[in-house]
Amino acid sequence: MYQSSKPLRIGYFENDGYSQPSPSIIRSLREVKALLEQAGHTLVPYEPLRVNQVAIKLVASGVFSDGSTSLLQKLKGGPVDPCLRPQVKLYSVPKWLKRILVFLLKPFSPRISSILSDLCGISTIPEMWKLHAAVEDYISETVAHWRKHNIDVLLCPMIGPAFNFLYCGRLSNLTSLTMLYNLLNFPAGAVTVSTVTAQDEEELKHFRGIYQDYWDKLHKQAVTGAEGLPLAVQCVALPWQDELCLRFMKEVEQLVKHKKN
């Protein structure tokens, strides 16, 4: 599978419906798409299933099922990295106050309201079992969705470029682009394909994001002034097809290298 040179049928998307990648990342993905098509591969549009409605909730509810109690206990008594401080402060907010903020923020910032709700944790063991069942159902649905599109692998955006200092702890929402494959347990890898250009920086000035909310504004600030920094794309395959994922990564890497030469 790794050594094969058989043309691939590749799904691709530019955003997952929850996080809008930076203009430089989208430009890089489009360039890789064009290189793959020139090399004889077939590229087909693909839309991940309900990332904004289901996937984020499943991940956040699972990670914070105990209301962040265990995480806060681990951090107790030690210094907190400045980059993580905004996150830790949010985790430390009392549950009753989180519930009030959920209600108040819902009309103005539905994404932040939803995450705050998940940070309250899961109340009962039956609810936890329901969450596990929902994850398994989502995996099965996604595999069926993948088969329906008849694709071998998936080309998708990566988080980037590297953020300005102290922003990473305030922009965990962008992990939707990567943590989806942790949730699905799909093999995935990132391949560096380009660097930020002056034109990318100009395009960024017009960036507004999908929700045009606080997080989208922070995202723009976080990646401003990144000219010259590396950019990557993600390569994804189905479970137990790690060799196919590696073969796809190698293909992308070689095509980009050949273009530069």
Encoded amino acid at 187, one letter: P
pLDDT of 172: 85
Task: List, for residues 222-243, the tens digit of each pLDDT value.
Answer: 999 999 999 999 999 999 999 9
Q: Give the pLDDT mean for 183-191.
A: 97
pLDDT of 65: 93
pLDDT of 28: 98
Tell me the sheet residues that pair with 43: 10
Give Cα separations from 202 to 24, 146, 227, 230 (angstroms): 10, 36, 10, 17
Is 51 within 8 Å of 15 (Cβ atoms)?
A: no
For residue 88, pLDDT beyond 80: yes
> How many angstroms separate the CA atoms of 139 and 55, rounded?
10
Is 91 within 8 Å of 71 (Cβ atoms)?
A: yes
pLDDT of 169: 86
Total-model pTM: 0.92
Q: What is the DSSP string of 175-234?
A: GHHHHHHHHHT--EEEEEEEE--HHHHHHHTT---SS-SHHHHHHHHHHTT-TT-EEEEE
The answer for 166, left when phi > 0, alpha when psi is -120 to 50, beta otherwise, is: left
Q: How confident is the model at residue 196 (pLDDT cuts 50, 70, 90)?
A: very high
Dihedral of CA atoms 112, 174, 238, 17 in degrees, nearest 10, equals 60
- Return the structure tokens found at 170: 């305030």
> How many angstroms separate the CA atoms of 27 and 193, rounded?
11
Task: List, for residues 143-177, the tens digit of each pLDDT value.
Answer: 999 999 999 999 999 999 999 999 988 888 899 99
> For the chain, what is the mean pLDDT?
94
Residue 259 or residue 178, greater confidence: 178
- Helices and strands of the chain, counted as H and E runs: 11, 5
pLDDT of 52: 85
First to last CA, the chain: 27
pLDDT of 54: 85
Task: List, for residues 91-104, the tens digit of each pLDDT value.
Answer: 999 999 999 999 99
pLDDT of 84: 87
Is 19 within 8 Å of 176 (Cβ atoms)?
A: yes
Task: List, for residues 19-72, the tens digit of each pLDDT value.
Answer: 999 999 999 999 999 999 999 999 999 999 999 888 888 999 999 999 999 999
pLDDT of 32: 98
